[in-house]
A and B are shown apart, each in its own frame.
Chain A
Amino acid sequence: MFKYFEPNKIFAITSKAPKYVLFLFIVVITIGLTEALILSPEDYKQGDAVRIMYVHVPAAWISLGIFSSLALLSVGSFVFKNKNFALISKSLAPSGFIFNIIALVTGSIWGKPTWGTWWAWDARITSMLILALFYGMYLLAWRIYEDKEQAVRITSMIAILGVINVPIIKYSVEWWNTLHQPPSINVLTKNSIHESMLVPLGIMTAAFALFSLLIFLMKYNTELIKVKNKGLDRL
């Protein structure tokens, strides 16, 4: 099955896709920003500060999603011995890291007007900071180790170890007493967030997902060309 996703076969698509994804991203983010900053209502308790949610929450969701994918691809790379998995993981990590930083910084900015502090060592914030450290180690390992096989092994181990932190982040608000509120969006039960806020949140999440796809495609193409550059050296 994996032969259909070989880099040589999909480059024709991945090299052309970024311009379409960029166009779609610009359209969706424009609608999302209009909804988030102008059209959506203010919260009855938090007032306009609630608008920070529209960048904070999607960034946190996507950084968690990308790290989970890194772990899954790392397991896949061990099991199927497929080098393309490592290439995909390496290309996904930078946008995951940036989304993690955005979640931390915007969370800190949101904390000041709602909790009265920029930072608190509560379970959710601390576990998100630990995730950022894992992302940092993951990206650093790709730079430090010149031997590709070794880099794949080390980065896979970091991703598999780090993914233990993902359920801790998710359930931290239920397991411990934290400043964070319990989840407002639940797939299995009724959401406690009003539709007028859920729609902009959904649009912003789609925009952020498109942006991570755009960065992934560009990074993936860069990595493929790097491989081909080495191939030319060997000719």
Chain B
Amino acid sequence: MINKIILMNGYGVYVWSAFSFTLISFATLYFSTRLQLSKEKKRFVSKFGSLNEEKARSARSQKINREILSNTSKI
């Protein structure tokens, strides 16, 4: 059974390489996108931290800014 799934009557090398290429592409795209997102979030938090009290209050008045700050540790 296992041999049949791996070898696939001689087509295994083609089938497995096609599926592997697809899954590796998925993983690469997912992790690179996640890295970009986390970099932007970190940049936002650091910029927000450097604002003076008045500017921070003004920035915090926007709902989206509060959402970004509350999501910094997630995807």
Contacts and interface: CB of A to CB of B under 8 A. Distances in A.
Interface of A: 7-8, 11-12, 15-16, 18-19, 22, 33, 36-38, 42, 47-49, 51-52, 55-56, 59, 94-95, 98, 101-102, 105-106, 109-110, 112-113, 211, 214-215, 218-219, 221-222, 224-226, 228-229, 231-233, 235
A18 B34 CA distance: 10
Contact of A225 (B14, B19, B41): B41
Contacts, number: 120
B14 A109 contact: yes
A224 B15 contact: no
Of B30, B37, B55, the most chain A CB neighbours within 10 A belong to B37
A33 B19 CA distance: 9
Contact of B18 (A42, A109, A215, A229): A109
Given A226-B40, A229-B47, A52 B67 contact: no
A102 B22 contact: yes
A48 B64 contact: no
Contacts of B9: 42, 47-48
B10 to A, nearest CB: 8
14 contacts: A19-B75, A22-B75, A48-B8, A48-B11, A51-B15, A59-B22, A98-B26, A109-B14, A109-B17, A215-B30, A219-B33, A228-B44, A229-B43, A235-B51
Contacts of B19: 33, 36-37, 51, 55
Q: Which secondary structure dominates where chain A touches chain B? A: helix
B62 interface: yes
B14 A15 contact: no
Nearest to B55: A235
Contacts of B58: 235
A65 B14 CA distance: 26
Contacts of A51: 8, 11, 15, 19
A235 B65 CA distance: 13
A209 to B, nearest CB: 13
A218 B33 CA distance: 7
B14 A52 contact: yes
Contacts of A110: 14, 18
Contacts of B26: 98, 211
A221 B18 contact: no
B14 A228 contact: no
